[in-house]
Structure formats: C-alpha cells, structure tokens
Structure 1
Amino acid sequence: MVARAAAVIRVVVDLPFVPVTTTDRLPSPSWRSSDLSSVIATRPPIIAPAPRPVTRDAQRAAEPAPSATRPRVVTIPSSLSRRKSGGDTRRCRSSVVRGPCHPRNVSDADAECRGLGGSWGRPASEPGAGWAVVDVETSGFHPGQARVVSVAALALGDDGNVEGTFSSLLNPGVDPGPTHVHGLTTEILAGQPTFGEIVDELKDVLRGRTLVAHNVAFDYSFLAAEAELVGAELPIDTVMCTVELTRRLRLGTENLRLETLAAHWGITQMRPHDALDDALVLAQILKPALAGAHDRKAWLPVRPVQRRSWPNGQITHDELRPLKTIAARLPCAYQNPGRFVAGRPLVQGMSVALSSEIGHTYEELIERILHAGMAYTESVDQQTSLVICDEAEPDQGRGYQANEMGVPLVGDADFMQLLERVVGGTGLEEFTDATLSGDQFALF
C-alpha cells in the first residue's frame, strides 16, 4: 500500500495596506425626555450635499406684497399750477411717489413740464403775478443759528405799486445780536410775538408772488430756517435779487448797496437797517429798476426755489445756489453739433463757456444760453463750441485757453444778437430698458 503524500501549496497574496481610521465624534447634547426617565440616544449628524452654485442674476427676490408694488399717485392741486401770460393753465402729469425714504417736491408743480432752461429768468416785457418785497433783521449771519428779530413784507402789483403791508418785531428767544446795527435790544423784543405766531400773516403776503430782496439769498434762507423751526411751509416758488437786477442796468454807481441806489434815484432813507423802512425803500427802487429793464430789453433774474415734503411730515426748503453752479451740471437735451463757425447761426446743443472779459453779467448770459437750448460749461476743451469774450487776444483765463485750442471767441453783444436766430438741434434718444420693468432682483 502506497501512502499518498498530500501536497500543501501555500499561496501568499500581497494586498495593499489600507489604514483604518476612526473618528471620535462628540455626542450631541442629550436632553431628557418628557418623563425624565431616560436619556435620548444621539445619532451622528446627517450632512447634506453642498448646493449647486447659482449665478447672481438668477437669484430672484421674493415676490413683494401687492401693496408694495402699487405706486401711490399724487395729483398736484390746481392751485399750485403755474399760469402762463395768456391765462391758460399748463397741465402737468401726476407724479409717482417713489419709496418712503424719498421726499416729494411740493413746490411749483409746473417745473417738471418746463424745459431745462425755461425756469431761470424771463424778459422784463412779460407780465408776472406780482412781487413780495421782503427785508429781515437778524441776530447774526448764519441761518439756523442766528434768528430773525424783525421782518417786513410789502405786496406789490406787477407794475410795482404797493397793495399790502406787513411788519412785526419778533422775540427770538436768544440774544438779539448786533444792537448797534438794528437798534433792537432784549428789552424791546420782550413780549413781542414769535415767528410761529405771525407766519400765517406773512404767508398771505407771500402767496402767489415772487419774493424780492436786496441779496435775496440772505433773506430767503433766514425765512426758510425760521419756517422749518416751527414746521411751516412758505408759499414761495420764485425769488428775485435786486442786486443782480440793478447790476444788469449798468447804472454807473460806485456800488450797489441799498443806500447808494436810493441816492441814485432820489429816494429818502429814514431809518437804515429798519426792516419796514428798508422794505419801503426797496419797493421804491424796484419800480424804476423794472422800467429800466423793460427799456433795455433785459431779462429779470427770477429764480425758482423748491421745497420738499418728507414722509414724517416735515417740510424743508432747498438752498438757493448760484445759477452757474446749477447750470454747469445740467444735461443738455441736444447733441453737441461741434464748433461755432463765424457767419453761421447758433445751433442748439452747442457748449458755451464764459470768460471774465464780458459786459453782461454771468447770470444773464447763462439764462439766455439755457433758454436757447445750449449747454453751459465752466471749462474749455475740445468739446467747447465757443467762448464768449469781448477781447480778441486775452492774455489769461478762458479766452486765452480758447485761442490756444482753436475755439472761436464771440463778443457778448454779438452773442446776444445771434440768440435771435438759433437753429434747432438733434435731440438725444432716450434709452429705457423695459424688459426688467416691475421685477426685483437680489444684488448679492
């Protein structure tokens, strides 16, 4: 018998070494069950897969409530609309109030309907709605800090004749300031009414008229500051400064102070720096000044002013800024046609700069530039169409820069004649993207 030999085959398989790691997780906080008898077992957290990235444009905001997307339409009262000389009332479309953080313009409702240049100045030959000559005496020079201690207002017709008078001393509640100027002491002002007590009477004189003052920015800013302190609204839509008006008449006086102008026209000034007396003197100055502007075919420096109603009910009156500051930032409704060519007419859209060598005042020329549909610029560059300058070879300023750059120079008298015939320009196309109108998108 042959013994069988068992062959043992050893197979060795080399497997890659895979380390086994374990992660010790801290158990999530266990809370006792309602019966406080056992501890709720914890389980490892379930980690959700990361969300697919979404582009910013595709992130739509939540749909707003119907009341939030419904615009509030404000109808401008007919009493605020501005009447033209022919008696027709120019209608203006109702304005849509924006979000609750935006104020609402409650001043002249026809301002949006007029052109960009039609709001500043008007020919002296055009009839107006009358004037309200105002003078104030104050305790200082800074509105909001100093107070009004005396005010006077005269209602005048368009021809300059006095139709009504109002004046009052005021108790400012503070030190009256320079008593050596206005002569009003604390003892005199004690017991006098406050501005809030007389503001309604003052508004009756101002309503529907253009406010007139000698250096109107000073008087208007103080009246506006006092009105805002008592929560009142002044019904003033336009103002006019007699300093600028008499400057356009080229009277040849040493200066344009009130007493100098009074002496020029033979007007007696009884009590300088008395509000009522100064207002009476200014009313007598205004009448010949208006006649002189009519004879010279000059424009009256009438300026629009605005006031705003805020959501909290507060009324604020905008600051009266220089015209050249506003005009330099106004967009023009026409394309720039390029350089002015001598012998050819002006074209709407031309960019016009002013040098210091001119006979007319800056404001008068800017009024005419805007009214003609041209643009005013404070700098001279390759886009400037012409520079108004009375000297052919100026040695400094914008006139000198214009000669260096080849920009034509035009005298102010010649420019005023050219304004009689201005060729219409090419309007700018308004771009509006209506595809996203009414939709709301997330910014981030």
Structure 2
Amino acid sequence: MTTTTEKDSDAAAQDAAPSEQSHEQTQKNNRDQRAAQEERERRRREAVAAHPYVALVTHASGIHPTTSRLITVDVVTFNEAGEIGEDFHAVLDPNTDPGPKHQHGHTREEIAAGQRFSQVLKTLDRLIDGRTLVVHRAPRTWGFVVSEARRAMNAAARANRSRSRGRGRSRRRQRVGHVPRPERIVDTLATARRQATPLTDTRIAAVAQRYGLPAPSPVASVERAQRPPQEVAREQTLLVRDLFFAVRDAGPVAQRSPKDLRADRFGLQRSHVRVDAVEVPRPRPNPGRYRPGHSLIRGMEVVVAPEVEIDPNTLIEACLREELVYSEKLTRETSLVVCNETTDLAGKAMHAARKDIPLMSDAAFLAAAERVKEQPGA
C-alpha cells in the first residue's frame, strides 16, 4: 500500500526531474555559446594577423559630422604585400536629406534603398577592430564613423529602454555594435604634410600623384560621373592603401591612438590637446597683431595651419605653455598664423595673407615661443 507521503515524494521527484533537465540544458547551451564565441574570436584574431591593415573611404552629405550624415562606406583589409583579405561596401540611408549628388555619386532613389548604419556597424566593427586603420583626412573620416556609431547605439538604447518599460516586451533587445576600436589611425594626408610634400590639391588622387603613384585625375569629369559610384569608391580605397605604403616608405607617418581623440564642436575627431586648447579661457587680453622681427607677447592669438611639418600638438602645447591663445578659426583678431607655405597659399594661410596677418614657420614659432614677452616693450 502506497502512503500519501510516498505519493508526495514521487510527485516531487517527477517535478524536480524536468527542472534539473532544464537547468542542465541551459548550462549546455551556455557552454556551446561560449565555445562558439571563442571560435569566432580565434578566427577573427587569425584574420587580423593575416591582414593587419584596413583602408576606409567614406562619402557623406556634407563636411561636418554634426550637421551631415554618411552616405557610403568602402572598406578593404590588406597585408604588407598589399593583398586584400576582405572587402565591404555599403550605401546608407540616413533618413534625411542626403545632400547633393556630387558629394557621393548616388541618386536619392539609390540612397533610399540603402541600409541604415545600425545594420552595418557590426560588420565595420569586425573589419576595423584591432587593425591599423588607414584613412585620408582622419578628423573627418573617423569623425563620421564615430558620430554614426554613437547615433546608432543611442537609438538602440532608447528602443531597449522603451521595451523594458512594457512597450514591445516581445521584441528582442537591439544590439547594433560599438564604436569601432582600431589599434591606431594613420592619416595619409597629415603624413604628407608632416613630410613637407608640396600640395596644391589635397584630394586622394592628387596626393597619390605627388608620391609618384599612378592615379586618375582628381578633377571631376563626365567620364567619372558616368561610372558606378561603388567602382569609384573602391578605386579611392585602393589608392589610400597604395598611398599608405608610399608615405610610409618616404618617412614617419602621422598616426594617433583613437583613445587620444575626441570630437570637437563640428564632430571632427581631433586630439585631446587640440580640443582642450580651444576650450581654455583666454589668460590675458589680446595685445594685437604680431610684428615680424619682434617678440611674441603673452595673450596673442595663434592659428596653426595644416601646412606644417611639426606635429600640431607640439605647436599647440607651446601656445598653452607660454599663455598664447590657440584658435581654430582665423579672424581679424588673429595675431599670427603658423604655416610653412609661403607660395601657392590656400586655406588659412591664404585668408591670413588677405587680412595682412603675418605667417611664421613651425620651427621659427617654437623658437619664438621660448622668448615670449609679458607685454609690448618689455
């Protein structure tokens, strides 16, 4: 005869069995997931070791990440021999005004059929993480990537918070990826400037030609406009790869760790030194314009043009150390522009010449910074 106690024990055992099985299955699933993740990481490490560089070219609706959006990204990984490992191209739909066609080569219909950046971020993470990222004009290119990644991550976080509050609990949490994590970022344009390469045109093809590379004309043409935009983008990406080898053979390259960069007010990724310098309160009143042949005076406003051989961070640090005011923007209040070009002036140097603002070479500026005076006539 079975007692009530025995029946209860049997029932409890039967109830416990499925629970134990479920727990064991969960543990097995977790082990399988960890093993699969470890295998993916192993394969990725092998891929990075085989092709440790990645060239990236982007096209956007405008020039500043804070006010514009990415329209295309083109990526190739490569090794020391220049051999391509993986490649990727995407047309992106920003769900806003894509800007003029000449900026990126795509029609509005082609862009509307494109992907959202959130859909390609994981792919970019896989291709960029741990590699040396090679770009032309790093503040802008890297600035757009970081800006778009953070925008996608913030949108996913908002959607997940909405889900956790009960609206759409049945939907899976969005995991769009992270801001890519390159080992370092090499800027081919900045490198050309540090190497004192004369540049009247800073576009990729023009700089490549300066280094003796076979490159198409950088000037827009009917022939180029009729080519598929993806083909043109890939041509530029491969040219960035070739330019990287050329500038590296010519001398030291301009490179930064992504940890040393942050966005300025335009979303351009610049060094902490540079962004912090703009935000430093003016230490003294501006004594006015620099007079050639005389000493620098504390409080003078200094602009550093791109055409310098010395690392701009070194020049900016000298400004801060000697209580000179660093400014990104050239105005009539500017006392001096640091620039090594004296002919074929462009950009800041050209505007300085038009406003009769003196130019001084980077080496001369560092020497003058050692003799800064407290006030005129001191």
TM-score after normalising by structure 1? 0.43
Larger Rg: 1
